[in-house]
Structure 1
Amino acid sequence: MNLAKIGLKKLFSVYILLLLSLVIVGCQPSVKETFTVTFNSDGGTLVAEQTIEKGQLAVEPEDPTKEGFAFQRWYLTDEATAFDFATPIVENITLTASWVEVINNTALIEADIQNVEDNLVVSPVQLSLPTRGRVNRSTIVWSTTSKYVTTTGFLLPINYSDSTTTQGEITGKFTLNGESVTRTFTVDLSRHDDVVITNSRVVPFENKTTEYDVANANVELFFEENGSVPYISVLNFLELLEGFVDPEVDFEITEDDNTVEIAYQYIDEDTQEVYDLRLTIDAVENEIRVNDPGFYWGYIYSTATNYGRHIEYVQDHPDAHFDEGSDVVYDLDHFNLDMAIYGGEILLPYYIVNQLFAGSSYYNVYYNYDKLVGIYGTPESGTLEYRAIKTSSMNNEDIPADLLVHTFSTLAFDLDNFYGLREIMGVESYYDLLYQRRHKLVTDDPEDFDNAVANLLLQDIDEPHTSYGYPSYFNKTAWSGPAVNSLSAYGSRFTQWYYDGFIDVDDAIEAKWGRGNISSTSWAATSPNRPDYWFVNPTSAVVILDGFRTSDIEESATFDPALIDSILEETSVVPAIAGGNKYFFYNNSTATENIAEVLVKGLNAAYLDSYKAALVSAGYTLVVESTEEASKVDGYYSKNVNGKDFMVQVGFDADRAVFYLGVVDKLPTSYALVWPVEKDIPALVEADSAVYMEITLDRVLADQPNVQRILLDLTWNTGGNVGALYRVVGFITDQPFRVSSIDGDTGGFSSSYVQIVGVPNYSHLKWSLLTSPLTFSAANSMATIFKENNLGKIIGKKSGGGASSITPILLPNGTAFTMSSNNINAYRTGTGTEEDPYVYHNNEFGIEPDFVVEMDNIFNNDTLNQIIDQLP
């Protein structure tokens, strides 16, 4: 072995190692400083930290997420300032996530929707429809196309004619923070359930009208469990109202478990015809059947007011005609109304009983929860009757749901059965209109309800005989009801009648007589200030008759002290009146005062002093003070008779040639305040149309004894009492006159003859009528009688119509109104033969004149003389 060679290799290896060591040591770099960037996601998803060399930039990570929040920025110290990732890292830092809460509107709305769904159905007739969500306060707007569902939150029973509907829908639009969700809810519908009576309540009955003497009593009303709809026995109702119901009527009553039949005979005092009247109440069929609607008034006692004075009905007139029509059936199923059997008695909804057995004859028994009140018609605001019915423990309360739905059904029943113009207006059922109005009508807010009823009557039904009365007892007593004294409250027909009538006639009156007290602010304005008559020429006079009015009057050719005694309920109160040839004894008593007023014809002005002396001789004392009031300047006389103070006034009207005596059993509380009676002879004359005609015709003939023709001016006459109308016809003809009518209940027709006795007759004169579009109701009937009986020619414009008498309606919640009844005035054509049968024409839309005269000439003497020249 070559040792030198081996050593050399080893030496070389050592050298190489030493060289490599030197090389490695010479290439080692210096160590750089680093920093950590930590990310605090504040509850969000984790973000990895970053190690960054000094002076280098951190990398912006992907945004973290956090339920219910939206990531906004990374910040170092100020949350409002985002960290700038272009900033070199020179130290360890922690970046914190900034979040903003994300409101999930949809989820919040869904919570409100769920709450509504959970609480939607309150009862079979009521829904809970809030306008704000109960959980998250979203706003809710409701809509529906289901006619049995209302946006006010009530469910109406399914109509009898609807055999397919079982459910309805109500849609709510829920809105929150600008986001909306619409959701439709399905609700079950039903027909009316059988009424199940569980309890009763005794309430007092108070009679507040002087027209009928009905004793106060207590009466039992029946209710369902927690119900607000009263029910009553018909037999108990008739028994309660003895005095309105004639006690001499012999009712024959037949009862079994499910039916009640009431029968009696009615003998017409004028014609002596006997009618067998029969009514059946059938609880199984849920029907009321009557063979003649006269059943509901044949048992009624005469009113205190003598409405039938001078009127006789002719028996067996050869031209009379009667078609009785068909029996009347009230099917309560058709109106979701029901009878009930309780304690062996058949009970009916109270306000159905009132309407049929009392209200149709103008006597109403008003239920206001606390009591029943007997009233006549629809009493005026401020009267004792009105105050009695309006004050209730239910004032200012919501209408209960069951009573509200029952009221809707009863309104349909009333309109379909008692509104006489339904068929004339081409309406099969008013349900269609009521369903259209349901969102307004079916509301538990009493004020909103009454506004809706007024709109229904005045805008939709829209005819002058149908009008709003007064609000329900659920309203505040201080609220007098909807504003109905503006034309904006009325429909097109009424508005046209007002403009063609009141406006045009008032303009014509103003053109002839001046403005006077003409009022264009209301159709209830007093008649304009114009003379009672004027002369067109020396032999032709126009007599103005602005209304058909009647008073409670007895007449005598001589002074009859018994007539005054019966009014004052005391004897020998005043001295007898000597002389005179015609006495009118007015009974103007009120609920608190007995008032007798007397007008006497045939005396002169000098007699006034004679009677004043007679009063003093009889012990009366004159009370007189200084005053500017014309009715008080002569003072009054006072005397105590049998412990009661009496007040007397006397006067003489030279223009009308009548002596006046007024007596009342009460003295004024103050000379300056309103007296219980104040002499107003013109007003007393005008208060009764027969008295007015008699005295006015006396004046006409006194002024012009050669008068041959009378034009009766009805241009400003909007109607009134039919009895007054008939009495006026008695001045025109001494012969029986035909009156025709259509019965909206039975579909029957009739023509009867009326004879007026006891009024002065002027049939020797030639008569004509002046009519205008304002000539309405009873005045329109006068034009009809003229036409049908050929009493004279009609001059002017087509009359304003109004065929029906009116009937008062009380709804179960206490709202009252009047509407055209089933007693429809008409005229008859045809001869009654098979070839030319009788045809009856309603006069709802007026009577055409024989001579057309425009309103601006209707009071023009030249125009009228030209027509008079053409008259026979």
Structure 2
Amino acid sequence: MKSKKINLLKLLLTSSVAISCAILPVSCSLLSNDNDKKITIKNYEFNNLSSEYTIESKKLNLSFVNDGNVPYVNLLQMINSLDGFFDRNYINFSTNILFSELKMTTKFGYISFNWKTNKITMPNTYYEYITKSPGKTNFNKYLKSKSYYSKDFNKNTIVIDLKKYNFDILYHNGNVLLPLAIFNLLFCSTNYYNLYFNGNKIYGCDFDIKSNVQEIPQIRNSKFQNSLIPKDIVEAKFNFTALLIDYFYGLKEYNNINSFYSTISNEQKQRMLSQNPVISTKEYIKYLYNLNDLHTWVSMPSFYNHRDSSIAKDFYEYTTNKRERIYQSTRKYLKNNKLNNWVIQTSKENRELFEKYGVRFISNNTAVISFNSFKTFQNLNDNSTNKGFSEDTYLGFANAMKLIKKNLRNMKIKNIIVDLSTNSGGNIGAMQRGLGFITDEPILNKTYNRLNEEINIRSVEVDTDGDGNYKNDAYSEYNWYLLTGVNTFSAANTFTSIFKEMKLGKIIGQKTGGGAASILPVVLPDGTSIVISSNNLSVTIKNNTIKSIEGGIEPDIYLEYKDFYNDQKLLEIIKNK
């Protein structure tokens, strides 16, 4: 009989809405809550600046605890308010007040919040797939999933103990409250969107704030500007960064970081905890850039810095590291080398073809296709096809191949070199579409999620000619080569890795610059905007061994940088391969 009562009690205590203690056969004093805390709710105007999501302007509530400065959000209320971003069809909530837990179930997983233990629990990070499709950009255009394989090497549940980082999950008057920075990190940052609270308004922005130059003055018009950072905000920023590095930084083990706290000296900590925004900003920049990770940078200083302050203007001297210096010097050398060895010596016609199509012909049987990034055109309503590599990789490749197939000047092209020597990466979907011009085989993209300890292998087919048929579209009649170097980075590094692992041709040049992780845009509690390497890492698998490609891909045929635009050298290599 006793067990039946307990089961009935559990049933009564599990609900998607708050239940009054008066109807429960248990004393309210036994239930954990934060009703003794003073919670001040303030109303702020919300403006959505995203080009991908349509969210109407409205008023949003932020909560402040015991007259503090750290903003909290009502979890359910915020999810419902951002209905143009979150897809509520895939989200369900249940509250179990006996176990002090709110559980959010989504299409592919769940995440739970325990306000008694201050722990966040999830089986994996699949809970984050809860947003609507972007309205402006189709990142998967001309791609079709062929197969998907996943293997979880660790069946343990992921537990984030917020107590270690001095954060609270609050349960106040039947509502679960989370710090805004943690809500942002869990639900927005992972979907390339972020909320910015500048003291006056709340703004919603796409991806990396530095790419939205026209929006920065509007966002930085803050009542906090040019003032000391409150002590609780400084401490929240420090502890949030620790949480971020410990759980969400993909290169934590690669960079031999045991924990954020253990890597910070007392002197660094004091400067990071400075209420002077210039001193604090400088120290965070130095720490992040000293990670020597080109996927980690600071985009915008805090709202407590001067409104006109910028990283480039005020902190540039702290934004370089060893890897960045090598990257920049080599890029400059290659640019000058191209100018001196090829542009000056070639014909006007060749220069015009190169500028328009990214194609140069170095003999009657060999062409070189060059482009500097992998891009997806960001307008679903524009179906024009006359775009080059600077706007869309797929269309750039399509138009380059049309030019090559024209058989200009009776040339019979047999060999094509894809020059990625100055390609710094970009969009993964664009990268996969580019590979579809080289092979009809499904493109294999292998990733490892560090937090989930899970390998994912996805294969996609590419509709290279855009006719809806994914078969026999590639230009596999050509001999394909890659030209790579230290500036072949990020998605270009992944392109090279897949090219090599699928044995699509020979790689000429030097070791690529690495960059295995996708990026994660994050907003710190004082408004500082940063980007870090995320937990999603591109890998290779050989003999059941998983290896990150962060360290770069070795070429098959070594070539000195001085000969990258020496056409005769390239032709000799192809002839003698």
Q: Under a length normalisation based on structure 2, what TM-score does the superposition of the two structures give?
A: 0.85
For the Cα contact (< 8 Å) 2:40–2:67, is it kept in 1? no
| Code of the aligned partner of 1:713 | D
Over aligned residues, Cα RMSD in angstroms? Answer: 2.5
Aligned counterpart in structure 2 of residue 354 of structure 1, from 165, 184, 189: 184
**AA at the equivalent of 1:699:** L
Give 1:745 deviation, angstroms: 1.3
Measured after TM superposition, the shift of residue 252 of structure 1 is 4.5
> For structure 1, which segment, 477-486 or 289-298, has the greater mean C-alpha deviation from structure 2 after superposition?
477-486
Q: Give the corresponding residue for 2:11.
A: none
Q: Which amino acid aligns with 2:117?
A: E
Secondary structure in 2 matching 1:755: strand
Which one has a larger percent helix, Structure 1 or Structure 2? 2
- Is 1:380 matched with 2:93? no
Per-residue deviation at 1:386? 2.1
Q: What corresponds to 2:285 in structure 1? A: 454
**Shift in CA distance, 250/352, structure 1 to aligned 2, threshold 3 Å:** closer
Find out whether 1:263 has 2:105 as its counterpart. yes
Q: CA deviation at 1:486?
A: 5.5
Give the alignment partner of residue 374 of structure 2, picking from 542, 548, 558: 548
The answer as to 2:334 corresponding to 1:502 is no
Higher RCO structure, 1 or 2 (CA under 8 Å, sep 6+): 2
Q: Tell me, in whole angstroms, the C-alpha distance in 1 between the residues paired with 2:533 and 2:117.
A: 29
Shift of 1:466: 0.8
What is the CA-CA distance between 1:205 and the residue it aligns to? 1.6
Alignment-derived partner of residue 308 in structure 1: 140
Query: What amino acid maps onto 1:748 in structure 2?
Result: E
Q: Does 1:289 find its partner at 2:121?
A: yes
SS of residue matched to 2:63: strand
**Partner residue in 1 for 2:476:** 763
Deviation of 1:541 (Å): 1.2
How far apart are residue 857 of structure 1 and its match? 1.5
2:420 corresponds, among 675, 695, 714, to: 714
List gaps (5 residues or longer) in structure 2: 1-33, 346-353, 466-472
1:634-783 to structure 2, matched below 5 A, reads 686-702=390-406, 703=408, 706-759=412-465, 761-783=474-496
CA positional deviation for 1:444? 1.2
| The one of 342, 359, 369 aligned to 2:199 | 369
What secondary structure is seen at the aligned counterpart in 1 of 2:171?
A: strand
Equivalent position SS for 1:281: strand
- How far apart, CA to CA, are the structure 1 residues paired with 2:191 and 2:497? 24
Q: Which runs of 5+ in 1 are unaligned?
A: 1-192, 266-274, 517-527, 555-566, 568-584, 587-597, 600-657, 659-680, 831-837
Distance 1:420 1:505, change over 3 A: same
- Judged with a 3 Å threshold, the aligned counterparts in structure 2 of structure 1 residues 497 and 484 are, in CA distance, closer, same or farther, namely farther
Supply the distance in 2 between the matched residues of 1:482 and 1:438 (Cα, whole angstroms): 24
1:323 aligns with 2:152: yes
d(CA) in 2 for partners of 1:332, 1:737: 40
Secondary structure of the residue aligned to 1:222 is strand
Q: Structure 1: how far apart are the matches of 2:317 and 2:222?
A: 32
Match of 1:795 among 478, 493, 508: 508
For 1:344 and 1:508, locate their aligned partners in 2 and report how far apart those are by CA, in whole Å: 66
Within the alignment, does 1:808 sit opposite 2:515 as a pair? no
Corresponding position of 1:339:
169
Query: What does residue 41 of structure 2 align with?
Result: 200
Residues 195 and 224 of structure 1 are in contact (CA less than 8 Å); yes or no, is this contact kept in structure 2? no
Q: Which has the larger radius of gyration?
A: 1
Q: CA deviation at 1:196?
A: 3.5
| Distance in 2 separating the partners of 1:708 and 1:866 | 15
Would the aligned equivalents of 1:296 and 1:360 in 2 still touch at CA under 8 Å? Answer: yes
- Do the aligned partners of 2:438 and 2:474 also contact (CA within 8 Å) in 1? yes
Does the CA-based 8 Å contact 2:196-2:204 persist in structure 1?
yes
- Tell me the CA shift for residue 482 of structure 1: 5.3
Aligned twin of 2:26: none
* C-alpha distance in 2 between matches for 1:515 and 1:379: 38
For 1:297 and 1:195, locate their aligned partners in 2 and report how far apart those are by CA, in whole Å: 35
Residues 720-764 of structure 1 deviation map (CA, whole Å, 9 limit, x = unaligned): 111111110111111202111111211211222111124352122
SS of match in other structure, 2:399: helix
Cα 1:772–1:381 shift into 2, 3 Å: closer
1:465 aligns with: 295
Distance apart, 1:303 and its partner CA:
4.0
- TM-score, structure 1 normalization: 0.57
Q: Find the aligned partners of 1:845 and 1:862 in 2 and give their Cα distance.
A: 30
Residue-by-residue CA offset, 1:379-431 (whole Å, 9 max, x unaligned): 23774532332112222221111111111111111111111000111111121
Q: Deviations over 1:65-112 (max 9, x none)?
A: xxxxxxxxxxxxxxxxxxxxxxxxxxxxxxxxxxxxxxxxxxxxxxxx
SS at match of 1:513: helix
TM-superposition CA deviations, 1:613-666 (whole Å, max 9, x none):
xxxxxxxxxxxxxxxxxxxxxxxxxxxxxxxxxxxxxxxxxxxxx5xxxxxxxx
Q: What letter is aligned with 2:400?
A: T
For the structure 1 residues 309 and 393, does the alpha-carbon distance in structure 2 shift closer, same or farther, using more than 3 Å as the test?
same
What is the match of residue 64 of structure 2? 223
* Corresponding residue pairs, total: 524
The whole-number CA distance in structure 2 between the counterparts of 1:398 and 1:515 is 55
Is 1:402 paired with 2:232?
yes
Report if the CA contact (8 A) 2:304-2:526 is conserved: yes
Structure 1 residue 447, shift from structure 2 partner: 2.3
SS of equivalent residue, structure 1 residue 734: coil
Deviation of residue 809 (structure 1)?
A: 1.1
Distance 1:782 1:360, change over 3 A: same
CA distance in 2, matches of 1:427, 1:792: 37
State the identity as a percent: 27
